[in-house]
A = this chain, B = another copy of it.
């Protein structure tokens, strides 16, 4: 194990999770705890399979990940974060907050997975009308549809489709995130290729607190 050899808690943290891909594996497990090797592979486009297995072994040794042999009918091993691993949440949130500044430009040729939406949605979006009945926005981008629910002051995401969404947003992830974050006007997003169905008015209920 390669270590910085510095008696400093930042260096110690980076000894444990500073290797390439490691924090992204933790991101996946924070988003979807208890998932399979293949799910991780799918959620981490670009990773080599040998690296994933190696990192998982290291994370297990360090006590951040626990593997659980799921009984039939699943009959496969599920990867979970330990308490220690889950406590990396503030680190990931701080990183995501800081990295948000690169999102407006980037996106050309980047891969995207729709479950990644859960992070920015929870972190930056708020329900501006908590008393109103919930509304549902179905987002079709990335690998599978996802539903954003606004209700009771909370904004949550759910994988899958909604039988009767109030609004459907379909198009590239940067367009969808631009509209949700309020950094892109819907009319401009439409010109850039975003397709919408339903009531665009529900977007006014999305309160965005993206850091400047």
How distant is the Cα of A199 from the Cα of B110 in the complex, in angstroms?
A: 60
Chain copies in the assembled complex: 2
How distant is the Cα of A94 from the Cα of B13 in the complex, in angstroms?
A: 10
How distant is the Cα of A31 from the Cα of B100 in the complex, in angstroms?
A: 24
Which B residues lie within 8 Å of A4 (CB)?
A: 24, 46
A12 pairs with B103, CB closer than 8 A: yes
How distant is the Cα of A45 from the Cα of B174 in the complex, in angstroms?
A: 41
How distant is the Cα of A168 from the Cα of B182 in the complex, in angstroms?
A: 56
A61 smallest CB distance to B (angstroms):
14
B8 pairs with A119, CB closer than 8 A: yes
B110 pairs with A9, CB closer than 8 A: no
Residue from B6, B12, B15, B120 in contact with A112 in the complex, judged by beta carbons closer than 8 Å: B6
Is A14 on the interface with B (CB-CB < 8 A)? yes
A186 smallest CB distance to B (angstroms):
20
Q: Which of chain B's residues has its CB closest to A91's CB?
A: B94
Is A162 on the interface with B (CB-CB < 8 A)? no
Is A144 on the interface with B (CB-CB < 8 A)? no
Q: Beyond A18-B23, A23-B18, A46-B4, is A9–B103 a contact (Cβ under 8 Å)?
A: yes
Residue from B10, B98, B112 in contact with A27 in the complex, judged by beta carbons closer than 8 Å: B10
How distant is the Cα of A94 from the Cα of B97 in the complex, in angstroms?
A: 12
A-B contact pairs, 10 of them (CB 8 A): A6-B24, A6-B112, A7-B112, A9-B96, A10-B23, A12-B103, A13-B96, A13-B99, A91-B94, A94-B94
Give the top 4 A-B pairs by smallest Cβ distance, nearest first.
Answer: A13-B99, A9-B99, A7-B110, A12-B102
